[in-house]
Amino acid sequence: MNKLNFYQRARMSVFFHNSNPKALLRISGEDAEDYLQSQLSVDVGKLPVGAMRFALRLNTRGRVLAGGYLLRQGDEDFLLFSRGNEASEWVKLLDENVVADEVEFTDESSSWTAQVLGGTGIGNFLQSKGLTVPQEGHFTEMKEGILFLDERLPANTFTLLGKTGLACATDNGVREIGWEEIHKQRIEAGLFSVPEEIGPENLPQEGGLENGSVDFQKGCYLGQETMARIHATGKVRMQARAVTWDANQAPALPSPVLQGDKPVATLKSAVAANDGSFLGVLILRANLIPSLEAEEFALPGDPAQTIRAW
């Protein structure tokens, strides 16, 4: 097979989606590292230049207020990229504990695009575009922008932060998809979004976010006492689960979910599938998971719509 045909076949399994970030902040100053260390759930001091982590901003009770990627571009220079929380929310959260710290928060959201690129042929496609594929947990900076493997999206999915994004629409076999399709793939993969699905009423452990987004050995930070206590016991009362149901339209969200006539869980999201069903994320008590698997739950309505574990 010649090189041209190889890349043409690789592109047949590639998709892209263009959007603008809700938040892209530049955080800089001689106290930037120490201040972020006190505010975020990951160990910023152990983050080398060129590395990144999905970090959480918790409240003092350990609940999730915001989440986003922290990218270290220099000793005193960081980018914070978030899909779920607006820049104004992040600035308010980060600024509220500044006293005499030499740290600045600059909103650059309107100057950037966030292009999602994925599919089974994405590695070959990126190489055909002359892009260096970064290792997991790192990013590469090129004239096209900043590229990284997006751990909060389905496998083989990258995000390119840049000024314009790649011009993919004219590539044979490369298809543009809507955010709803990526949303569906994410739920199918058991990945839960912040703050839509795991938010101010939830602990990171309810959505598996402690794996990779909470460093239990780091120094003092907001929510640390709660995180340490849960880490010691290994248990939380609530859990997030991907679910599916048949319906003509999505319910108003968040929606109560019933066991008989009793509200026992909360549906946090809903996205239409291609077969007349919906996918969503349910928050329920861990001891009720067997009842979910036994199809004892339903959305209110006439007729009631049975909720099934995905």
- What per-residue confidence (pLDDT) applies to 170? 61
**DSSP code of 138?**
B
Q: Give the pLDDT band (50/70/90) at residue 215.
A: very high
CATH architecture of 1-236: 2-Layer Sandwich (3.30)
Q: Give the pLDDT band (50/70/90) at residue 6.
A: very low
List, in sequence order, every beta strand (DSSP E) within 29-178: 52-58, 64-74, 77-82, 104-107, 113-118, 139-142, 145-149, 157-162, 175-176
Closest CA to 56 of 225, 240, 186, 214: 214
| pLDDT over 70 at 235, yes or no | yes
Q: Give the pLDDT band (50/70/90) at residue 156.
A: very high
Domain chopping of the chain, boundaries: 1-236, 237-310
Percentage, residues of the chain above pLDDT 90: 85
CATH architecture of 237-310: Beta Barrel (2.40)
**DSSP code of 200?**
T
| pLDDT over 90 at 167, yes or no | no
- Which region among 8-12, 88-92, 142-146, 154-158 has the lowest average model confidence (pLDDT)? 8-12
